Amino acid sequence: MIGSGPNGLAAAIVLAQAGLRVTVFEAEPTVGGGSRSAELTLPGFVHDLCSAVHATALASPFFRTLPLAQYGLEFIHPPLEVAHPFDDGSAAIVERSVERTAALLGRDDESYARIFGGLQRSWPNLESSVLGPLRWPQHPLAMAAFGMRALRSIAAHGLVPLDKALTAGFGLVLGVMAHMVGWVIPRGGAQKLTDALVAHLRALGGEVIANHRVTSLDELPRARAVLCDLSPRPFLKIAGARLPASYRRSLERYRYGMGVFKVDWALDGPIPWKAAECGRASTVHLGGTLAELELSEQQAWSGTAPDRPFVLLTQPTLFDPSRAPAGKHTVWTYCHVPGGSTVDMLPRIEAQIERFAPGFRDRILARSVMSPAGIEGHNANYVGGDIGAGIADVPQFFTRPTWRMYSTPVSGLYLCSAATPPGVGVHGMCGYFAAQRALADIHA
């Protein structure tokens, strides 16, 4: 195995469960890729380096089968799933209950309840299609209904502009997860999920070697299968010489998209939100009106750093005091920027928070800033700061990174990162399906 992100560890566990001897090589000194935590600002303040909200981990059909609670993994449910404040001091909120959320949204309640209530009821039938590779759905009618809605555009988590097809798919999946499982946070931070996966892998006899960057496939010990938790660009660096020219060219054509600019703070008190509801949600979306949100995502997509960025914010210590000294807090944010952008977004992100929480700046004890280059610097998969490991638009969503998905033309060599289906998020399902593919080949 190359890479210890959630997909790499999931793949390693599947192979170890099948009785194979598994070794995971990880380039960074700490294990976990996009699911890690560290004291980025001050001693005693634990920040998530990448993933913060773990609805997909809790909803993951594979992680659900693992005894991760035995290894100390615990998810915290904040009172509200997400809040979205406005300039007048009010806020839209999403609660676990579809009905209560719909009622609070007022005018649009019927359509909200119809869409999310329907999705919630059909989720058991949809799950394997939404969190799996392209194949004939087990429940074609439920999937067709979801597909019609997913192809519409609306949601700003998808790292594509809001008017592009499929952005609604992200919104619908994340939205239904808020109602099905909740936008949970792991007690102690994202690293706790990784630690539990590693502990389980070790209990199955697997081995994880950190601080070992693989620079060429030739340096690996002989193995029946090599699975790479890599997106195409870093994969080409270590495997390019072994790949047939046509496959290499397909991977070279793989497109990366918007980057992210990330800021974490240590605060000496909670964020002083104008809208009280924001203090009851671990996730807060800052962007004002839909028109503002649309403009900011369109600008980032078309090469301009937005003046008023759409900021995703989490405030985990409100619900998990273990992550900071008593009475102190951590805050995690990022905004979308053009891939590889070098614009310093710190003042613009802080201005967006201050807009909805006057006095925020006065509470800052320390900051950690990560540009798109910094994001790529600590994880080679996120080229240009693209945390989705490649654009998830229609041509690159269903069959990523090529129509072969997990397989490559080289026997025994596989891809298992978020650049394969079902894509971005901490769920391990890319790793699970890649390992199933490898096992099928081994036993063929």
Chain residues binding ligand FAD by CB under 6 A are 2-8, 25-28, 33-35, 50-53, 56, 213-214, 229-230, 234, 238, 260, 262, 334, 375, 379-382, 387, 417-418, 424-426, 430
The residue (of 113 and 389) whose beta carbon lies closer to ligand FAD is 389
The residue (of 142 and 262) whose beta carbon lies closer to ligand FAD is 262
The residue (of 112 and 333) whose beta carbon lies closer to ligand FAD is 333
The residue (of 270 and 423) whose beta carbon lies closer to ligand FAD is 423
**Nearest CA to 258 among 339, 165, 146, 154?**
339
**Nearest CA to 336 among 391, 260, 257?**
260
The residue (of 113 and 337) whose beta carbon lies closer to ligand FAD is 337
Interaxial angle between packed helices 6-17 and 429-442, expressed in degrees from 0 to 180 and rounded to the nearest 10: 40
The residue (of 137 and 388) whose beta carbon lies closer to ligand FAD is 388
The residue (of 137 and 408) whose beta carbon lies closer to ligand FAD is 408
For residues 152-172, b (16+ Cβ closer than 10 Å) or e, as one string?
ebbbbbbbbbbebebbbbbbb
- Identity of the residue numbered 382: Y
- Smallest gap from Cβ 424 to ligand FAD, in A, equals 4
- Smallest gap from Cβ 109 to ligand FAD, in A, equals 28
E strand segments, 127-228: 185-186, 207-209, 226-228
- Smallest gap from Cβ 64 to ligand FAD, in A, equals 15
The residue (of 156 and 430) whose beta carbon lies closer to ligand FAD is 430
Task: Tell how far CA 361 is from the center of its chain.
Answer: 28
Q: Could you give the CA distance from residue 70 to residue 196 in angstroms, rounded to a whole number?
A: 8
The residue (of 90 and 342) whose beta carbon lies closer to ligand FAD is 342
Contact predicate 85/356, CB 8 Å: yes
Radius of gyration of the chain measured on its C-alpha atoms: 21
- Smallest gap from Cβ 152 to ligand FAD, in A, equals 23
Q: Which alpha helices (DSSP H) does 218-281 contain, by range? A: 232-239, 245-253
Q: Which alpha helices (DSSP H) does 46-166 contain, by range? A: 55-59, 98-105, 109-130, 140-150
- Smallest gap from Cβ 113 to ligand FAD, in A, equals 26
Task: Tell how far CA 157 is from the center of its chain.
Answer: 9
The residue (of 8 and 270) whose beta carbon lies closer to ligand FAD is 8
Dihedral-angle region of residue 303 (phi above 0 means left; psi in -120 to 50 means alpha; beta otherwise): left
- Smallest gap from Cβ 275 to ligand FAD, in A, equals 22
- Smallest gap from Cβ 410 to ligand FAD, in A, equals 17
- Smallest gap from Cβ 140 to ligand FAD, in A, equals 27
- Tokens coding 191: 């690293």
- Smallest gap from Cβ 417 to ligand FAD, in A, equals 4
Q: Could you give the CA distance from residue 184 to residue 172 in angstroms, rounded to a whole number?
A: 17
- Tokens coding 164: 């592009």
**Nearest CA to 331 among 350, 344, 345?**
350
- Smallest gap from Cβ 393 to ligand FAD, in A, equals 17
The DSSP annotation for 369-426 comes to: EE-HHHHHHH-TTSGGG-TTSS--SHHHHSS-SSTTTTB-SSTTEEE-STTSTT-SSS
